[in-house]
Amino acid sequence: MTTFQADSSVCKVSTLTSEKQETANSVESPVIYLPGTDCAIKSQASLSAYTSYRVGGAAQLYIAPRNIEAMQAGLKYAKERDISVTILGAGSNLLVSDRGITGLVIATRHLRYSHFDPETGQLTVAAGESIPNLAWQAADLGWEGLEWAVGIPGTVGGAVVMNAGAHNSCTADMLVSAQVLSPDGTLETLTPAELGYSYRTSLLQGSDRIVTQATFQLRPGADPAKVIAATKEHKQHRLTTQPYNFPSCGSVFRNPKPYSAGWLIEQTGLKGFQIGGAQVAQLHANFIVNRGGAKASDIFCLIRHIQQQVQDRWSISLEPEVKMLGEFQLAC
């Protein structure tokens, strides 16, 4: 049995005094806590540091729970105050508006736990675990099945929701079950069939249910050197075919079969096209990179420009894979 457990000393349910549950005075400003926890609620927290694009405005309210109980407390807090809830994972497939996000933003990146069960070959992990890190951990143990995921720049929660994939493999292929948290605080375990998987999507997209944990079926017992070599090969392929030298969100558009979005964009002559600090990547046209100083509005307008140009040239409507949060209507 191999278990990886993150430090849970922050944002955990505790027996705090009633005074600390609401505020704790400091020299600079009072700190507000979720009632019944020591999970701090940040006001007007900048989200640019929490997205791979390094752009975006502030969250009206922001929390980063480290366990289910604190997550439930956050949902209760929002419900009692009738404020909206937005879930934020690694922020790697996300574009946050320059105007920020109203309501409560709940970050799941600190939900950390992983357990490799050698008897069943199953890996059970919390939503905040990094997909690439898990791929390397599995490789070190000689467990096959996650080699393809080493270049996926996200967390387990996001991978389950969007059916993340690469190299002709995807999350749905190996998912056994996913634990989700409903707005009323109840937990439910769903099978892949119940999640309604298809290409880069599931029934959880657009849903108000939150992935908290997932179990994957892997294949233990292989030579670790062999699995590590295969994982390195997949990683190298990503590094040589996709731009990692500037901030990006990964692939911007879904592939409109039988074409690839990158090929359509490149053939439209848009490689290198730039709006503000946002540019269509030279290495891979289905990537938009932040060349420095880009605003979310620059990226949004470039997405719309690409869509219009491809539509005009090929009569094909490109569907964004990147999720957009906040107001963008007047961006262009």
Element (H, E) at 2: strand 2-5
Element (H, E) at 324: strand 323-325
Residue among 66, 109, 112, 200 flagged as catalytic:
200
251 carries an active-site annotation:
yes
**In Å, how far are 8, 18, 239 from 267, measured between CA atoms?**
50, 63, 22
Specify whether the CB–CB gap between 243 and 283 falls below 8 A: yes
Q: Would you state the structure tokens that stand for residue 292, as one six-digit string?
A: 């420095």
Name the nearest CA neighbour of 212 among 323, 67, 43, 324: 67
3-state helix, strand, coil in the chain (%, to 5): 30, 25, 45
CA distance 249 to 255: 15
200 carries an active-site annotation:
yes
Name the nearest CA neighbour of 296 among 278, 274, 269: 278
CA distance 158 to 130: 10
Sign, CA dihedral 188-191-196-201, equals: positive
Specify whether the CB–CB gap between 187 and 71 falls below 8 A: no
54 carries an active-site annotation:
no
Specify whether the CB–CB gap between 17 and 73 falls below 8 A: no
CA distance 65 to 329: 32
Q: How does strand 113-117 pair with strand 2-5?
A: antiparallel
**Which burial class, exposed, middle or buried, applies to 185 when counting CB atoms under 10 A from its CB (0-12, 13-18, 19+)?**
middle
Q: Which residues are catalytic?
A: 200, 251, 321
